[in-house]
Structure 1
């Protein structure tokens, strides 16, 4: 990829608009760790393999501009005494939060109101999921009716 060395000479308004246009929906894969620290303090830590949006790491100007759109999410799930503080850069308005099999929805209770787009993979016929995770969906997210409506239509 070639570089555009004159970028810094563009008017500030144009540069900021370009940085803003780099914001796009992502699927953010979030899971809870089972590390030594998390078991020691009885609290799992959020981990992700989703990379930080590149413009957040490009320069001060881009970071300052993109922090208007992204925030340090999942810090509510940190363990006591801030040991092992973890966060995930996320834009809850447009990012899809992917949590795997959906069998640990209760772990996300503290951030449930912020999550606007949730994705997980589960078999509705799975007894564990039906008995426990569907209750969490109903209680924490209020999405049970939506899911049932979607499955009935498809």
Structure 2
């Protein structure tokens, strides 16, 4: 008899060959629209595939890993500085985003109060 609660955890994933795990992480990447507001706080969520585990995060943010993979499925960390030229924010206050320049697209918008 089947249990009424479903278990969606695949416990054998760590035992799959590295090449197969790397391909699975790469296929988990999906295109996103990144909205940036001039002179306004930007908030772009971190891609979900980077939240999965350390292995996924390392593979998807470092294209020089042992297995080369698809090559166009990697995220880069970029600091977002869309403030007026006279504003000099402290380095620790400058927000950053993860972006995949191959599949993500960026929309720069003006804040509604300008």
Structure 1: runs of 5 or more not aligned: 35-45, 104-154
2:34 to 18, 28, 34: 28
Please give the TM-score of this superposition, normalised by the length of structure 2: 0.65
Provide the rounded CA distance (Å) in 1 between the counterparts of 2:102 and 2:111: 21
* 1:99 Cα deviation after fit: 2.2
Change (3 A) 1:55 1:76: closer
1:7 to 4, 8, 13: 13
Q: Pick 1 or 2: higher relative contact order, CA cutoff 8 A, min separation 6.
A: 2
Provide the rounded CA distance (Å) in 1 between the counterparts of 2:80 and 2:13: 38
1:57 matched to 2:51: yes
Please give the TM-score of this superposition, normalised by the length of structure 1: 0.50
Segment drifting more, 77-86 vs 88-97? 77-86
Structure 2: runs of 5 or more not aligned: 1-6, 64-73, 83-87
Whose strand fraction is larger, Structure 1's or Structure 2's?
A: 2
Counterparts of 1:3-152 in structure 2 under 5 Å? Answer: 3-34=9-40, 47-48=42-43, 50-67=44-61, 68=63, 69-73=74-78, 75=79, 77=81, 79-100=88-109
Q: How many residues align?
A: 90
